Amino acid sequence: MTEVPSQTIARMAAMTPEDMRSLQLAKLGRQLERVWASNPFYRGIYEKAGIAPEDIATLEDFSARVPTVGKPEFLADQEQNPPFGLRLGVPREEVVMVNLTGGTSGLGQEFYGRTAHDIVIQGHLHALPYYMAGLRRGDTILNCVPAGGMSTGGWGPPEGFRQMGGPTFNAGGTLGTDAKIDLMLRFGEIHFIYASTNYVHTLTEGLRRRGISPRDTFPMMRAIFFAAEGYAPEWRQQIEEFWGCRVNEGYGSTQVAGFGYVDCHKAGEPERGLLHALEWHSLLEVVDPDTGAHVAPGEEGEVLVTNLDIQASPAIRFRTGDRARYFPAAACSCGRPWHCIEAGSVGRYDDMLKIRGNNVWPITVDGAVFAFAEVDEYTGRVYVDAKGRTEVEVRLAFKPETKAQGERARQALLARIGEAIREKTNVKMTLIQVSRGELPDYHYKARRWRDERRQGYKLD
């Protein structure tokens, strides 16, 4: 791949929606022919469904006739045909890297073989969003996500930064928060920071505690780019105000082989803003998880992933388990012919907690809590009390400056936060103020909630 991100973005943005669909269909046709010829896993699925590549003449044919797959099928395949399963699709000697999923769903980790071609695509699917966020050749980068390891999230960012041509400090997993801040101060010139959503919060609070204003200390900052978790719109505004630069979001996964959606920063229909799909590399669908039908604009559904350019271990109509709100390209004022999902609200279906008959997603509570600038961090737990009742406890720490308000003011603030949570979730929760030291720091993805009910959700 020789085209630089600026050329790719300009060329793809100039396409009409019809041209983009034609490009997707052409790439999809090649991918289906490839897996039919060389991938026993997918060929077996398609033969069972009574379809062949020549039966898929339109994108509508693809959505209507090609079966979905998911983590359970991938895990069963690699267990029966170790180590990669029959879905590898290329000779073993062409595999030069192995990626694993994080296993956060509790079901196990999938193996993904990567060819040299796939690694370039993986880097490009990181470089494109970074470029759109403002990163330019020669900029100094602080990568706060653990680099290397076995995940796409570990290898993709450094490869993307290498393709962009900027000096990079891969400090994630190597340095603690104060050590990262010391490094930033010592080097003096930082243009771009990449981190998980929650580590942006951790790094920001670390600077606050040390009395360091990044707006003054690092005036050359172009952007912060984060991923992995949702957030409250108010929190994003606070971060942008504190840092004095744009905050950008991306959505991706190991199955996408990088980022599939990226921030636009143009006026959009929902107040949270929009993430545009990089549709020429990935065919991304948002469907009703029960019916499989594509959701209407503004509705929530499950993200399905189809790789259009990955050779080894491709994902085709893979059910991610991620919940997103869909919008058409026209919902954004930028004019790009790429469909969208709502920014800041992507969550996992398997994160949902059933509490007193209500479906509660941790991301919803995050949004209610972090809408208050006084909050530093929180954790939550669901448990059964001595009388067999389901109870919810939220332990919450305020920022140091909030202590000066006095106990009465802090109790009133707790009451307002509790009411905001109840309005968002329809669940009354008990809020307890604690010191910041009693709560964990999150250096990558946050796991703020524990469900301690011995019999699951049957007690509700």
Domain 1-350, CATH among 3.40.50.12780, 3.40.50.720, 1.10.10.10, 3.90.1150.10: 3.40.50.12780
- What is the per-residue pLDDT for 240? 94
Q: Please give the Cα distance from 358 to 287 (Å, whole number).
A: 22
> Is 16 strand, coil or helix?
coil
The model carries a pTM of 0.82
Q: Please give the Cα distance from 240 to 238 (Å, whole number).
A: 6
At which residue do the structure tokens 């790429």 appear? 338
The one-digit pLDDT tens for each residue of the chain (460 residues) are: 457 899 999 999 999 999 999 999 999 999 999 999 999 999 999 999 999 999 999 999 999 999 999 999 999 999 999 999 999 999 999 999 999 886 554 457 899 999 999 999 999 999 999 999 999 999 999 999 988 777 788 889 999 999 999 999 999 988 999 999 999 999 999 999 999 887 898 899 999 999 999 999 999 999 999 986 778 788 888 999 999 999 999 999 999 999 999 998 765 555 788 999 999 999 999 999 999 999 999 999 999 999 999 999 999 999 999 999 999 999 998 889 999 999 988 888 877 787 876 778 788 898 899 889 899 899 999 888 776 678 899 999 998 887 777 888 888 999 999 999 999 888 899 999 999 889 988 776 778 888 887 543 333 3
- What is the per-residue pLDDT for 387? 66
Domain ranges of the chain: 1-350, 353-451
The per-residue DSSP string of 108-158 comes to ---EEEE-HHHHHHHHHHHHHHHHHHT--TT--EEE-SPPSTTSHHHHHHH
Q: Tell whether domain 353-451 is in CATH 3.30.300.30.
A: yes
Q: Please give the Cα distance from 127 to 281 (Å, whole number).
A: 13
State the amino acid at position 149 in one-letter form.
G
- What is the per-residue pLDDT for 455? 42
- What is the per-residue pLDDT for 459? 31
- What is the per-residue pLDDT for 94? 97
- Between strands 390-398 and 375-384, the pairing is antiparallel
